Amino acid sequence: MIGHVPVNQLKRLLVGTPLPTAQSRHERLGKTTALAVFASDNLSSVAYATEEILRVLILAGAAALSLSMPIGFAIAIVIAVVISSYRQTIGEYPQGASDYLVAKDNLGTFAGLTAGGALLIDYTLTVAVSVSAGVAAITSAAPVLYPYRVGLCVFAIGMVAVGNLRGLRESGRLFALPSYLFIAGFVVMIVIGFGRYMLGGVGGASAAGPTTGAPLEGPLTAFLVLRAFASGAVALTGIEAVADGVPAFKPPEVRNARAVLVMLGTIMMTLFLGTTVLASLFSIVPRDEETVVSQLAWLVFGGGPLYYYVQAASMLILVLAANTAFADFPRLAFFMARDGYLPRQFGNRGDRLVFSNGVLILAVTAAILTWLFEGSTHALIPLYAVGVFTSFTLSQSSMVRRWFTTRPEGWWWRATLNGTGAATTGLVLIVVAAAKFLDGAWIVVVLLAGLIVVFLAIRSHYDEVAHQLSLEGYDGPPPMQHTVLVLVGDLHRGVVEALQYAKTLSPDAKAVYVELDPERTHRLEERWVKFGLGVPLIVLTSPYRSLLGPLLEYIDKLLTRDGNHVVTIVLPEFIPARWWQHLLHNQTALLVKGAMLFRKNVIVTDVPYHLRH
């Protein structure tokens, strides 16, 4: 393979040396680390959820912005319901409660595939949205970078992907610090913010910048409020991560996971509500070039190191959130591939024990998405929540079904709790899909339907292949007749070696020559006597100068003679030492292989003769 060595070296440099399979094990996480690991995806949405609510409300004028508070509380209630619901799921699926597995287990294949497809879409969007929002945190603090945001996003996705190919996903310590830095930063900002508000230290906010999206003030309709709620619902994304990851906890796994889930929910609600209420109190107006959090932090801290701290912590946790998706997507793809709904390649572990194909597909898809949406979090949001609420709803409904089936002690109130979760998330799903349909939610609906069809087609192909290849009731192949033909165009060292090779394959090997020029045939036959190694030479005439025509005709005649007859065509081929020299030789071998590829009972064997230079 040309360039084999440099490509390999580059790969080693980026990805590192291979790890032995025996090193494959999961690091077990204590509660403090686990909270940091599983929180990043969910908590990071604090950096943009409030802004998305405001960006919708502003369409009805600045006065409508005050509605963000009740909307924030409604979302907090949904968070509480979902947390309670998932607490139960954890108990039932200590081996890891991926919504795909839970839905497939309880509601059947179709529900499972719907949840799986929704999650795959959602993880891709997590990467695109988180990286875009993280880059927005940087460009808010350093506006000169704003024009380069798409490049920065793609670069960040590439870095996270390379890190994951190296296998860093398992290291909890990496996560612990930024997550707690983020929590601390926001807590300080909220506390000081409220303090300042009470003291009357800060008034109406950055009225300097122009508002975005709506130069014309529209009416405040119920639909607009629903849209604002739907936009804010992205605050729930990533909440399912704890339930997915139960086996990663130190024992007792279930209890620890539940405790972490409740902690996560509490912190999330605090940060989200604090930010939303403060933004409302300070009358912050959303703008394209600066995030709401950036405006808020600037007002609270009046610039200074704490402002930059909050921006940096936001950026870090957002990148970590993207990183979480890089662990989740490949793992889900692995489960779905194992069940035959995705290509088997997603089941391969790479050099560093990571499911490399999943990482690569996710990175490429998310990068394309970011590029298409020009690195705008706001433009991506309408696509985001549909997937996550679809899988929430299916997962909660699965639990209801499960309680009705297994009927353990207290199953009735458990079913009620999960039923409330299912109803709530289902309602939110309808609101999100309807309110944001034309803004982009339709893309996800179409994509999800398409994915389900693809999953089923892949599974049906694998089933069919397994059936065709099955040895059940197979009595072994019938006895085989074998003819070896060496295709020659000339007689030289390469051909002589191929003839010798053919003789070891079969004592009855023959050489076949397609005659294009009778004079050359004559010369060939003369030399054949001396160098032909006793292999008989068959000359086929070709009135139309076609090499393949007469050859195919001859082979077809051979094959029709007996039942299970196989013809091996031995092709002497010399391999030039340099790539450009290939252009100087007729590509006969390629032509013959191409023509034989779909013929049954014909096998083509190249016998390479390596040229020195």
Closest contact distance (angstroms) between CB of 172 and a copy of itself is 25
Least distance from a copy of itself to the Cβ atom of residue 549, Å: 9
**Which amino acid is it at 368?**
I
CB-based contacts of 8, cutoff 8 Å, min separation 6: none
Look at residue 343 and give its three-state secondary structure: coil
- 230/571 Cα distance (integer angstroms): 65
User: Whole-angstrom Cα distance, residue 46 to residue 277?
Assistant: 12
Our CB check for a copy of itself shows the closer of 220 and 353 to be 353
Measured CA to CA, the distance from residue 130 to residue 118 in angstroms comes to 18
Residue among 81, 279, 284, 607 that touches a copy of itself (CB under 8 A): 607
Between CA 548 and CA 512 the distance in angstroms is: 12
45/356 with CB nearer a copy of itself: 356
113, 115, 120, 121: CA torsion to nearest 10? 110
Closest distance between a copy of itself and the C-beta of residue 465, in Å? 6
3-state DSSP assignment of residue 353:
coil
Residue 212 or 605 with smaller CB distance to a copy of itself: 605
In the three-class reduction of DSSP (H, G, I as helix; E, B as strand; rest coil), residue 575 is classed as: strand
Told to check if 544 binds a copy of itself by CB under 8 A, we report yes
**Residue 591 Cβ, how far from a copy of itself at the closest point, in Å?**
10
Residues 47-106 that bind a copy of itself (CB under 8 A): none
| 200, 251, 543, 563: residue in contact with a copy of itself (rule CB under 8 A) | 543
Closest to a copy of itself by CB, 28 vs 492, is 492
Q: How far is CA 528 from CA 492, 503, 540, 607, in A?
A: 10, 15, 16, 19
Question: Which residues are CB-neighbours of 348 under 8 A, at least 6 positions away?
Answer: 355, 356, 357
Residue closer to a copy of itself (CB basis): 117 or 421: 117
Pick 197 or 501: Cβ nearer a copy of itself = 501
List, in order, residues 6 or more apart from 55 with CB less than 8 Å away. Answer: 212, 213, 231, 286, 378
Q: Which of 109, 212, 500, 521 binds a copy of itself (CB under 8 A)?
A: 500
- 507-536: which residues touch a copy of itself (CB under 8 A)? 516, 527, 531, 533
Judged by CB under 8 A, the chain residues 213 through 242 that form the site for a copy of itself are: none
Question: Which region among 8-16, 188-196, 394-402, 571-579 touches a copy of itself (by CB under 8 A)?
Answer: 571-579
Closer by beta carbon to a copy of itself, 28 or else 599 = 599
Distance, CA of 47 to CA of 137 (rounded, Å)? 8
Residue 30: phi and psi, rounded to 5, are -75, 170
* Pick 171 or 546: Cβ nearer a copy of itself: 546
DSSP sequence for 243-293: HHTGGGBPSSHHHHHHHHHHHHHHHHHHHHHHHHHHHHHTT----SSS-HH
- Least Å from the CB of residue 59 to a copy of itself: 44
**105 vs 351, which CB is nearer to a copy of itself?**
351
Does 506 sit near a copy of itself (CB under 8 A)?
yes
Among 19, 174, 306, 443, binds a copy of itself (CB under 8 A): 19
Whole-angstrom distance, CA of residue 139 vs CA of residue 134: 9
The least CB distance from residue 488 to a copy of itself, in Å, is 13
| Closer Cβ to a copy of itself, 409 or 472, answer by number | 472
Q: Under rule CB under 8 A, which residues in 348-387 are in contact with a copy of itself?
A: 348-349, 351
Binding-site member from 147, 198, 557, 598 for a copy of itself (CB under 8 A)? 598
Q: Assess 548 for contact with a copy of itself (CB under 8 A).
A: no
Binding mask 470-499 for a copy of itself (x = CB under 8 A): xx--x-xx--x-x--------xxxx-xx--
Give 420 or 506: the residue with its C-beta nearer to a copy of itself. 506
Given the rule CB under 8 A, which of 252-260, 405-413, 552-560, 578-586 is the region that contacts a copy of itself?
Answer: 578-586
Tell me the C-alpha to C-alpha distance, in Å, between residue 549 and each of 515, 556, 596, 604: 12, 11, 12, 16
Q: Is residue 568 part of the contact set for a copy of itself (CB under 8 A)?
A: yes
Nearer to a copy of itself, 288 or 351 (CB): 351
Q: How far is the CB of 604 from a copy of itself (least distance, A)?
A: 8
Residues 456-475 that bind a copy of itself (CB under 8 A): 458, 461-462, 464-465, 468-471, 474
What residue type is assigned to position 518 of the chain? P
Residue 111: CA count within 13 A, CB half-sphere: 20
Helix, strand, or coil (residue 515): strand
Does 338 engage in binding with a copy of itself (CB under 8 A)? no
Q: Which of 234, 239, 231, 230 is closest to 430 using CA atoms? A: 230
CA dist., res. 574 & res. 530, Å (int): 22
Nearest to 320 by CA among 188, 186, 183, 169: 169
> Exactly one of 344, 407, 520, 522 binds a copy of itself (CB under 8 A); which one?
344
User: Exactly one of 155, 180, 411, 574 binds a copy of itself (CB under 8 A); which one?
Assistant: 574
Q: With contact defined as beta carbons under 8 Å apart, do 46 and 267 qualify?
A: no
Q: How many CB atoms lie within 10 A of CB 580?
A: 7
